[in-house]
Amino acid sequence: MGLLMFEQIDIIFYVLILAVFILGIYAQLKVSSTFNKYNHNKPLSNVSGESAVQHLLSCAGLSNIKIRRIKGELTDNYNSKTKTISLSDSTTSNASISSLGVVAHEIGHAMQDRDNYAPLRIRSIVAPLAKIGSIAFYPLFIIGLILLIATTYTATGRVLIYVATGLYFLSTLFYIVTLSVERDASKRALELLHSSNVLQVDELPKAKEVLKAAELTYLTALLTSLIYFLRFFFYALRVLKRD
């Protein structure tokens, strides 16, 4: 690739980074607005997220899951190490389609854990590696750039840039696996809400809309990571081109 081609690629990446930044803002607004939209929409079953938990767990065949309440809004999560579902105030306070969708989604993660769902296992392995990679990437990349300037150590600088780029890919891989995990958890959640009769058939699309909005945030994170990885990857190619 010539210098002009790399300059064109730079412009493309700047546009993509701006686009995904705007998408990230939209995703956050979409999650909040969609949750609030159906947070005042009571299900026909008239059960709250808190009271539906045990019923949904029973229908899912889960008997060893602990439940705890945490503060915040949409901070719900499942911890596979402690077998604990943490439900936020925004989820447990109302009897709404939104809260039931979120609760079922977290139970979906517990079902994945029980079933040894492969992407969930892969994510648990990749997560600490991605954390290390994200910490090590920037100092290695910067040191590599500095060494490139010092002509005596240009070979070492190139190696560090290549290694740093490879480490950054671990975070991209983490987001790829995470998106798969979240989509599957949402699919399990909708099936569980239907089979348990917590939601009726005509209420499921509303719960699906809530879960799809949340999924958009994971997609945005993946796209952001992928764009930056490609940016660093092409920079590594540019360094190689100088050899």
Rounded to the nearest 10 degrees, the angle between the axes of helix 3-38 and helix 204-241 is 160
Q: Residue 126: its pLDDT value, please?
A: 95
Check: CB of residue 192 under 8 Å from CB of residue 56.
Answer: yes
Identity of the residue numbered 167: L
d(CA 237, CA 243): 10
Q: Residue 49: its pLDDT value, please?
A: 66
Q: Report in angstroms the alpha-carbon separations of 37 from 83, 95, 188.
A: 31, 13, 22
Q: For the chain, which residues make up each domain, given as ranges?
A: 3-241
| Structure token digits, residue 5 | 């081609």
Spell out the per-residue pLDDT of the chain, length 243, in tens: 555 565 677 788 889 999 999 999 999 999 999 999 998 888 887 776 677 888 899 999 998 899 998 887 888 999 999 999 999 887 877 778 998 999 999 999 999 999 999 999 999 999 999 999 989 998 998 898 888 777 666 788 888 888 999 999 999 999 999 999 999 999 999 999 999 989 999 999 999 999 999 999 999 999 999 999 988 888 877 776 665
Cα angle 77, 130, 182 (rounded to 5 degrees) comes to 35
Check: CB of residue 240 under 8 Å from CB of residue 54.
Answer: no
| Structure token digits, residue 108 | 């979906």
Q: Residue 151: its pLDDT value, please?
A: 67
